Structure 1
Amino acid sequence: MPLWVAALLVTACLVLASCGSAAASRSAGSESTCRGKLSGVSYITVWFHASASVGAEWQTMVAQAAQFNRSQRQVRVRLITLPEGDYEQEVASAAASGNLPDVLDFDGPNLYNYAWAGDLKPLDSCLTARQVADLLPSIRRQGTYDGRMWGWAHSIRGWGLYVRPSILRKAGISIPTSPARAWTAAQLTGILARARAVGYRQPLDLQISYDSEAPEWNTYGFAPAVWSAGGDLIDRAGYRRVDGFLNGAPAVKALTTIQGWAKAGYINPNRDGMAFEEGKTPISWVGHWLFDAYTKAFPGDVQIVPLPRFGPRDVTDLGSWQWGITANAPNGDAAWRFISFLLRPHQVLQMTDPDGAVPGTYSAIRLSPRFAPGGPEHLYVEQLESGVAKPRPQTAAYPALTAAFAGAFQSIVVGLKPVRPTLDAAARAVTSDLIAHDYYAATR
């Protein structure tokens, strides 16, 4: 059995573990999570994902929880950090046993399954009109499922190619200055050949090592190639059909191109994630979180450019980890008091500054010169404002969908398996999951 199929089966089991509470969600979804009142002292438990790759973010979260506890006396936070690699399994286990914390952080697209399964409470009664207006539209879009808001993110991920301008100019390569001037995939193929000619045998870093830590990387990182080619992973008009989408002509075209880079030897295996920092590659396909590391390694010689176009569209991904209030929280107002604290501009910047993420509120962006026009990360804001950034499919079937696509991508690009048959198998697996769950009827 291919490893990605095994992973899909595990994912299906995790989904099923939380399905028992779905009926409760549908009956409780209209209730107000927040009533605007706090009395006495409330104690809440907060879970936060933590790993070596988000060390600075983890340290900031610990400091913010302590700061919140010092700042007032009505709500006391007990912060629990869990390794990112095991985090989703821990959440699924806690949901199945009824032991979720009051406040949970979770990767963006997992919201849709958690909301459908009844693991979250809606936040509409908690957010003020001013808070809603301050959120970036992409934050609101990512946090919404079935017409209600279930999650809030302090930041949104920036996405593109990091390049070494000095190396590219040496090879006679022009550098894009905006999404409208993005390289095409064919142009990037030629650029890789020219980079090889000036001494970089494997000039492209795709951060392949991330797959071993978090398979979601393959979907987050490379679904934009499918979207750019004019396709999608699922029919978003109802989220009931994947055949002809996940395995459609645009998906086949995009992944065939990326596989071609692998077959040509252009992709650096980069198992330690250090290829760009160590000067082995002049191009790295990755997000905002490596901005500081890359610019520290090559001061004045790092630039962010758009992802390549695989077809008619300029597309990048959007998403981030979100905060939500779980169905287990007896006091929504106490839980929201802490989340609302994290919404403050200076708290947002404390969390985003260490890794270069785009602040999730306009008030925080105004205080951050790195995202202003002319700033080194302004491209990320430009992509979010222009509609180039696109959310991953907003469906409760997302765990099964991402497991199938991520596994297929790994088989195609690393294992060099035939593209169309591999995507056909992935589409069949997701179709079976949709049928088994009655197409994930909405929470009404």
Structure 2
Amino acid sequence: MNATKVSHESTGTRAWPCVRRVRGVLVPGTLCAALLLAACDSGGSGSSDDGRSARKDTTCDGKIDGTVHLRVWFHAGPSGELSTLKAQVREFNKAQRQVRVELVTLPENRPYTDLVLSAAASGDLPDLLDFDGPNLYSYAWSGKLKPIDSCVPDGVRDDLLPSIRRQGSYAGRLWGVGTFDSGLGLCVRTSALKEAGVRLPAGPDDAWTATELTGILRELREQGYQAPLDLRLVDASPGEEWNTYGFAPAVWSAGGDLIDPRSGGTADGHVNGPESVKALTTMRSWVEEGLVDLVEDDRAFVTGRSAISWCGHWVYGEFDKAFPGDVAIVPLPDFGSGTVTGMGSWQWGIPADATDGDAAWRFLSYLLEPAQVHRMTVANGAIPATNSALKLSTKYAPGGAERLFLEQLRGGFARPRPQTPAYPMITDAFSRAFAKIMLDGAPVQSTLDAAAERIDEDLAAHDGYPTNGP
């Protein structure tokens, strides 16, 4: 459904519960059906490092005619994120009358991404869509989104973190922007490390090696921690996005990858290559040695079962509350090629059928104002997406408690998940392989071989995902 020109004031803000922040895995069968939908032009030649396009789009022309009723979908259920966005919508609608924003209530019993694909198939996407960042590439490729280069002024673009611009770009064009980014690291009990005589890494260039971490875990177990490492395996069921977001960095750090990083044409020799196998073999050895917490809850760190947690930014506040002044964030371990961390989070984009990109951008530009970015990131604990908003938070200032997350994003230690329309299959295949290896003890090589085969079958079925769309 497109943006609707109305002569009356739209009232009411509706919200809906759905999935958690870092999740949103596509169901490959549903995706394959959706990718066969008729698509508009979704790609193009010409690109640059910051996402500026050599081609112009017409999504925004700088004009809004009349009053526009804007339908908006958002991923979060009852949460600080949702409460904050509802307040932002109310205040935006009160401050002006030309664009009337409505948050749409969606069913609670279906994954958000399934709802997006279903709406795309029936032509009922909203006027402004929120989606998990790495899904952008399949949405852009299949014609579900409009490029937004013409909407985003240079000043706003330059204020965005490079990681935000990078994740929002595909085929040389900008398709999405987010108001926050993400971070990964090891949350550690500093008192436990001190007691065990363990050094605290000073930054990304000083990360523990994987071998060093193995020794640290053994020492912590001697100090009384029954399972010293929390990998958040409660979130590691087959198909969960945590498996890819959280642990692809181990593969990258070892020198491996999930797909050919140059051509994107094959996963064989990459997701199942020797470096990838080595990384997951090391991680599986931690499980086999009893160094990893396997209790099926998410409280290993806060209850003191584990002294180190491989985790995302969203749990730091909870950990710090449990042990005030005794939690530090250090880089993920170096598996051989330097520490690597994840990046990317939810982004906003304008669906292809939306008729008034300028109205959508009017609201989105409000959400990107420094005070509004700061407001949202206070609510969800994420990293502000703009340099101007970062100045409003002491957590990311030099010496701040979460400064490492920003250093990783700015310093080249963070990598996006594979920027290809094949990502839904890549994440599903890798996530399921990771779960089998870590939770079921499946052999590493053959399990990753099967993942590579699934990904390559998907690539072949879509002719390698040519950038000019299906």
- For Structure 1 versus Structure 2, the TM-score category normalised by the shorter chain is over 0.9
User: In the alignment, which of 91, 101, 109 is matched to residue 67 of structure 1?
Assistant: 91
Q: Distance in 1 between matches of 2:397 and 2:411?
A: 15
Secondary structure in 1 matching 2:70: strand
Give 1:239 shift.
0.7
Q: Distance in 1 between matches of 2:109 and 2:211?
A: 36
Secondary structure in 2 matching 1:113: helix
1:396 aligns with 2:421: yes
Contact 1:85 1:214 in 2 (8 A): no
Give 1:213 shift.
9.8
1:430 aligns with 2:430: no
User: In the alignment, which of 298, 302, 305 is matched to residue 330 of structure 2?
Assistant: 305
Give 1:270 shift.
4.1
Letter of the 2:68 counterpart: S
Secondary structure in 2 matching 1:49: coil
2:31 — aligned with what? 14
Could you report, residue by residue, the CA deviation over 1:242-292 in whole angstroms, capped at 9, with x for unpaired residues? 100010011000000111111111111242211111222111111111111
1:258 — aligned with what? 283
Contact 1:139 1:156 in 2 (8 A): yes
| Superposition pairs of residues 24-173 of structure 1, within 5 angstroms | 25=42, 31-51=57-77, 55-80=79-104, 82=106, 86-173=111-198
Contact 2:239 2:427 in 1 (8 A): no
Letter of the 1:79 counterpart: L
Give 1:157 shift.
0.4
Contact 2:56 2:150 in 1 (8 A): no
Secondary structure in 1 matching 2:453: helix
Q: 1:381 to 1:284 in 2, by over 3 A?
A: same
Letter of the 2:467 counterpart: A
1:359 aligns with 2:384: yes
Contact 2:67 2:100 in 1 (8 A): yes
Unaligned runs of 5+ in 1: 1-6
Contact 1:218 1:410 in 2 (8 A): yes
Q: Tell me how many residue pairs correspond in the alignment.
A: 435
Could you report, residue by residue, the CA deviation over 1:209-253 in whole angstroms, capped at 9, with x for unpaired residues? 223497111000000000000111111212101100010011000
Contact 2:236 2:242 in 1 (8 A): yes
1:190 aligns with 2:215: yes
Q: Distance in 2 between matches of 1:211 and 1:34?
A: 41
2:313 — aligned with what? 288
Contact 1:138 1:318 in 2 (8 A): yes
Q: Distance in 1 between matches of 2:181 and 2:159?
A: 14
Give 1:16 shift.
2.6
Contact 1:161 1:305 in 2 (8 A): yes
Letter of the 1:376 counterpart: A
Secondary structure in 2 matching 1:266: coil
Letter of the 1:37 counterpart: K
Letter of the 2:288 counterpart: K
Q: Distance in 2 between matches of 1:172 and 1:227?
A: 29
Secondary structure in 1 matching 2:74: strand
Give 1:354 shift.
2.4
Q: Distance in 2 between matches of 1:179 and 1:26?
A: 35
1:439 aligns with 2:464: yes
Give 1:22 shift.
2.7
Give 1:334 shift.
0.7
Letter of the 2:136 counterpart: L
Give 1:85 shift.
6.8
Report the aligned-residue RMSD. Answer: 1.9
Secondary structure in 2 matching 1:339: helix
What percentage of aligned pairs have identical amino acids?
Answer: 54
1:216 aligns with 2:241: yes
Secondary structure in 2 matching 1:252: helix
1:273 — aligned with what? 298
Secondary structure in 2 matching 1:314: coil
Contact 1:404 1:426 in 2 (8 A): yes
User: In the alignment, which of 364, 368, 378 is matched to residue 403 of structure 2?
Assistant: 378
Contact 1:18 1:95 in 2 (8 A): no
Contact 1:292 1:355 in 2 (8 A): no
- TM-score with structure 1 setting the length: 0.94
Could you report, residue by residue, the CA deviation over 1:109-139 in whole angstroms, capped at 9, with x for unpaired residues? 1000000010001110000011011011111
**Is the deviation greater in 12-21 or in 282-291?**
12-21
Q: Distance in 1 between matches of 2:151 and 2:456?
A: 36
Contact 1:18 1:96 in 2 (8 A): no
| Superposition pairs of residues 221-236 of structure 1, within 5 angstroms | 221-236=246-261
Q: Distance in 2 between matches of 1:270 and 1:101?
A: 41
- TM-score with structure 2 setting the length: 0.89
1:4 — aligned with what? none
Give 1:367 shift.
1.5
Q: 1:261 to 1:51 in 2, by over 3 A?
A: farther
1:420 — aligned with what? 445
Q: Distance in 1 between matches of 2:302 and 2:110?
A: 24
Secondary structure in 2 matching 1:105: strand
